[in-house]
Structure 1
Amino acid sequence: MIKVVITGSNGLLGQSLLSLLLSEKDKYEVIGFSKGENRSGRNDFLYISIDITDETLLKEKLVEIQPNFIINTAAMTNVDACENNKIACNTLNVDVVKWLAEVSDRINAHLIHLSTDFIFDGKKGYYKETDQANPLSYYGLSKLKSEEIILKSNIKYTILRTILVYGKVFDMSRSNIVLWVKEMLESKKEITIVDDQYRMPTYVEDLALACKISMDKKAIGIYNISSSQLLSVYEIAQQIADVFHLDKSLIKSIATSTLNQTAPRPPKTGFDLTKTNKELEFYPKSFKEDLLKFKENLA
């Protein structure tokens, strides 16, 4: 049996991973770490209510459990909130990763950690794993620091960088771009969307699968995980309207400069997926194909 601890098991990726790994109960023993009550709607795994920002408690529990893999899906990802509350951001996105790396070293666990396209400044797009990072926001900086901690350690690790994750799980604490656009248009509300930021959105089920593949292959290194096509956020919203047969005329385009966001965003990210295709044998699809699959799953 492969023993896996998922931090942030109540989150979008956490719950998706639970579903995926628990479908192979003969192979994986899954333990979920999250704050508060178990929100996954499942009780067929060991759930531990824990504040992972408590270093002593976090390390004690992991030493007790002795997992083969730790998948760290817990993070503070609200970009403006990170800018406004750097201490909280640093604790969850940097300190916790340092502790996870320390305990992984001690118990010989393989750490799978999620990172982001926001470590880049977005000047060029289609970033390779080896491209020079230059974060514009504190969120991006915190995720870059967490990567550096892992790279300097002696542990077995996989870092999966991803972009704009969307999907739906049992009990969600926050929305995501696809659900938000869909809900607004279903309510016949006009929305304004930036047309000068470019992204490759990631379906959460693909990201969960990439985590599982990384475990099964014991992949070491950094990998890019996203859909395969670079789109403006405005085009993303238009495709959501198309797939769900909603009124596109309600979507109005605006420039980022008119938004007054606290933290700057990289204008153009997106990933080169060559290494992911080759080493993980993982072949992401276009946003539209993923959306159609998501729509099917919603039904």
Structure 2
Amino acid sequence: MEGRQLEYKIRFLPGWVEVVQEEDVVPNRRALITGATGLLGRAVYKEFKDNSWHVVGCGYSRARPRFERVDLLDAAAVEALVQDFKPHVIVHCAAERRPDIVENQPESASLLNVGASENLAKEAAKVGAFLIYISSDYVFDGRNPPYREDAVPNPLNHYGKTKLEGEKVVLQNNEDAAVLRVPVLYGDVEKLEESAVTILFDKVQFSNKSANMDHLQQRFPTYVKDVATVCLQLTEKKLQNPSLKGIFHWSGNEQMTKYEIACAMADAFNLPSSHLRPITDEPVGETPRPRNPQLNCSKLEQLGIGQRTPFRVGIRESLWPFLVDKQWRQTVFH
């Protein structure tokens, strides 16, 4: 096909040399994904790669051998990577996204969520790359949903504050960048605790023990594959219309509490849910979280951008490898 070529990568491994043929790469469509080892980053990396982009993913603790190992706090290393690869788009997924961790380690979280984002925005501007900064619905206090992009943020916790500060430094240092706010995410996790949604599955499966589940705070669980599609669509729209920039929202549209999420998981796998107990009390002593930070997504929808996988479908795709009942797993999925 015109404009495409075969690429060969040579890998030197102990005892032999492996030549890997990569088909359908378009060298003049280059994407850099930060946090490519994480839940969202893996999905974004795959989405661009599956659509014939030449993709470089970077990570840190889990990077090698698949991804570039880059410390985003090392400005010189980030500059070298961006200048060498000269990406057309950078999707910045890397962040400390666990609110309780951020609350306990505010300085290190700010370095990554704010400092690294500011530096990346500057480097993207130097090479003319379109930067998509992944932000959060936690920039809102959850008192007056749904929230449009121009609603006044009021984060309740330090995580939300760092993501909001990250938005500001990105847009200040790169006027052509985009901010994409998303809510709680789930998808093909490497372990259940990788997502605040999938971590509930063990409590669902072990029905011999009653489990208390929050039935107060409203959530909009969003499939990472859908967010990855939005990132790709936004990028391709930007290539057609360079004036596209600013803040955007994307979210699943099924409103659920943690209790309702757990019940939906049980239903998806024909598991009992009578042991799950809805708790409507205000949580005590936890990191404060917004009651209902629902995002209005009409701005992207009007651009013809968006994809929503029904929760039942996405959660089955994500969780079947973690089913304790292996026999059931084999009969249903194989």
TM-score, normalising length: structure 1: 0.89
Q: Runs (4+) of structure 1 moved beyond 3 Å? A: 36-39, 171-174, 285-299
| Equivalent position amino acid for 2:305 in 1 | E
Query: What is the deviation of 1:297?
Result: 9.6
Letter in 1 for 2:301: N
Counterpart of 2:79? Answer: 59
Q: Counterpart of 1:5 in 2: which secondary structure?
A: strand
- The equivalent position to 1:222 in structure 2, one of 247, 251, 254, is 247
Give the letter for the 1:33 counterpart. C
CA contact (8 A) 1:190 1:251 kept: yes
Normalized against structure 2, the TM-score is what? 0.80
Q: Which has the higher contact order (CA 8 A, sep 6+)?
A: 1
The answer to whether residue 294 in structure 2 is matched with residue 274 in structure 1 is no
- 1:229–1:275 Cα change, 3 Å: same
Q: Residue 181 of structure 1: CA displacement?
A: 2.1
State the Cα RMSD in Å.
2.2
Which of residues 109, 112, 119 in structure 1 aligns to 2:139? 119
Cα deviation for residue 222 of structure 1 reads 1.7
1:280-299 pair list within 5 angstroms: 280-284=304-308, 286-288=310-312, 290-291=314-315, 294=318, 299=333
Quick check: 146-155 or 206-215, which moved more? 146-155
Corresponding residue number in structure 2 for 1:139: 159
SS at 1:10 equivalent: coil
State yes or no: 1:104 paired with 2:162: no
Q: Which residue of 2 aligns with 1:235?
A: 260
Q: Which residue of 1 aligns with 2:326?
A: none
Specify the alignment match of 2:271 in structure 1: 246
Asked if the contact 1:182/1:244 (under 8 Å) is kept, the reply is no
Question: Is the alpha carbon distance of 1:231 and 1:173 closer, same or farther for their aligned partners in structure 2, counting shifts above 3 Å?
Answer: closer
Per the TM alignment, residue 244 of structure 1 is displaced from its structure 2 partner at its CA by 1.8
Q: How does 1:21-100 map to 2 (within 5 A)?
A: 21-24=48-51, 27-38=52-63, 43=66, 47-100=67-120
Residue correspondences, number: 290
Letter in 2 for 1:271: L
Matched, 1:6 2:33: yes
The alpha-carbon deviation at position 58 of structure 1 amounts to 1.3
Distance, in Å, in 2 between the alignment partners of 1:172 and 1:234 is 21
Unaligned runs of 5+ in 1: none
Q: Which residue identity lines up with residue 257 of structure 2 in the other structure?
A: S
SS in 2 for 1:4: strand
More displaced 10-residue stretch of structure 1: 184-193 or 27-36: 184-193
List gaps (5 residues or longer) in structure 2.
Answer: 1-27, 239-243, 323-332
State the 1:294 CA deviation: 4.7
Identity, % of aligned positions: 28
* Alignment-derived partner of residue 175 in structure 1: 194
Specify the SS of the correspondent of 1:217. Answer: helix
Letter in 1 for 2:80: E
- Aligned partner (choices 29, 44, 47) of residue 20 of structure 1: 47
**Partner amino acid, structure 2, of 1:220:** K
Question: 1:148: which partner in 2?
Answer: 168
